[in-house]
Amino acid sequence: MQKPPSPINFPLSLLQDCGKNIIIINAMDELRKLLQENLNIDFISAVLSNPRKKDGPSKVKVRPIMKKDQLLFQLETFENNQAFHRNVDKIEASELLAHAMENMKQMQMETQCADYNVLVSKKGKATIKRKLHKGEAKKVDLSHNRKKRYVLEEGIPVPFLVDLGVMTAEGKIVRARFDKFRQINRFLEFIEDILPQLAKDRELTILDFGCGKSYLTFAMYYYLHELKRYDIRIIGLDLKKDVIRHCNELSQRYGYEKLKFLEGNIADYTGVDEVDMVVTLHACDTATDFALAKAVHWNAKVILSVPCCQHELNRQIKNEDLAPVLKYGLLKERISALVTDGLRAQYLEREGYEAQILEFIDMEHTPKNILIRAVRTGRKGENEDAIRRCEQALGVAPTLGWLLDHEGEV
């Protein structure tokens, strides 16, 4: 096994506080050297993150693979909600990663011998902290096509998935329900991403509007409470009496004491005063807007919304320049849906949220594939004029805008 690079391998003029394995280097050339020395059979993984500019890759992941007896490095680049893969050799990987780091603030790298944390300043200085591993070396999977790992793993029975027909009692995924299994895990990945935003020293209140059969509601409770040990209270709200009754029966059967389902309308619900997270999945048309307005009113820290059936703007949208395109019903419907969700995200930013529009699940599995994720920052966006210009140009007046502008009048 190759030994990790010692601080003395770097020019002495570039060292600072060697006792703590912290190195300050002044050029990307030295970062290339670090990469070249560690991109070998003992390399495990690396993640480049925290971009300086919004236009460009948001993250780059690196892992070693063995292809035709040759050690290569697979770069997975995330940009515009898409992932691009490229397999390259050590030299090209070093160059590509060093170039990518010019727009990234951080790189975390793991090898058999040590962990490295690299921070790059605006002036191009890189601070590298190394922590040596103790004990047995970690095994690395060098296979080219690795089996995808899910948050809820196949082979481990999950009670609600068994009862809902997604899993067998032995933990095997029912083939006909595999798309649902993927959808549940994809949703939990979004939950996993926002965990740092959730307090762990008190009870959290989560509202799920339009919970329906509650696959994802049960998954959220199981993941946060049973696996991550968060103290949470989840309230699922829907209009269907029989569905609510069945979900409450299941919740009691599993011993989920703080998971309750209520019959009710999103617009009229007043059962809580403070909420930490609001989830609205497939709430039809303007029901999503009422849920988002409620979330803003409660100052919810996190909002996750998968809209559905955006009919409102389809009835309103009108623009002379777009008329040749809008004459086609299918295109008009899709454009209206995208504009609806784009304006929803803009309104959330106006109200002090950092909003993202992400792909929830592949279009081949469900047409309802857009997720709006918003995290409250308290910094209100200066986009009011831009929103109004967009609405005027398209001749639309979204319900969410009216609800937010007339809070307390509804």
pLDDT at 243 over 70: yes
Residues 23-40: what's their mean pLDDT? Answer: 75
pLDDT winner (highest mean) among 24-33, 82-91, 178-187, 224-233: 224-233
Residues whose CB falls within 8 Å of the CB of residue 23, separated by 6 or more in sequence, listed in order? 7, 10, 14, 15, 16, 127, 128, 130
Candidates 277, 279, 332; CA nearest to 310 is 332
CATH topology of domain 159-405: Rossmann fold (3.40.50)
Regarding pTM above 0.85, the answer is no
3-class DSSP assignment, residue 79: strand
Q: What is the pLDDT of residue 305?
A: 93
Query: What gap in Å lies between CA 379 and CA 140, rounded to an integer?
Result: 43
Q: pLDDT tens digit string along 94-119? A: 989 988 888 888 999 999 888 888 88
Task: Map out the domains of the chain as residue ranges.
Answer: 7-132, 159-405
Q: What is the pLDDT of residue 144?
A: 52
Kindly provide the b/e burial profile for residues 37-47, where b requires at least 16 CB atoms within 10 angstroms of the residue's own CB.
ebbeebbbebb
pLDDT at 82 over 80: no
Task: Tell me how far CA of residue 108 lies from CA of 9, 117, 341, in angstroms.
Answer: 20, 5, 34
Let me know the angle formed at the C-alpha of 31 by 26 and 32, rounded to the nearest 5 degrees.
130
Q: pLDDT tens digit string along 127-171? A: 888 888 776 656 665 555 555 667 888 888 888 899 888 999 998
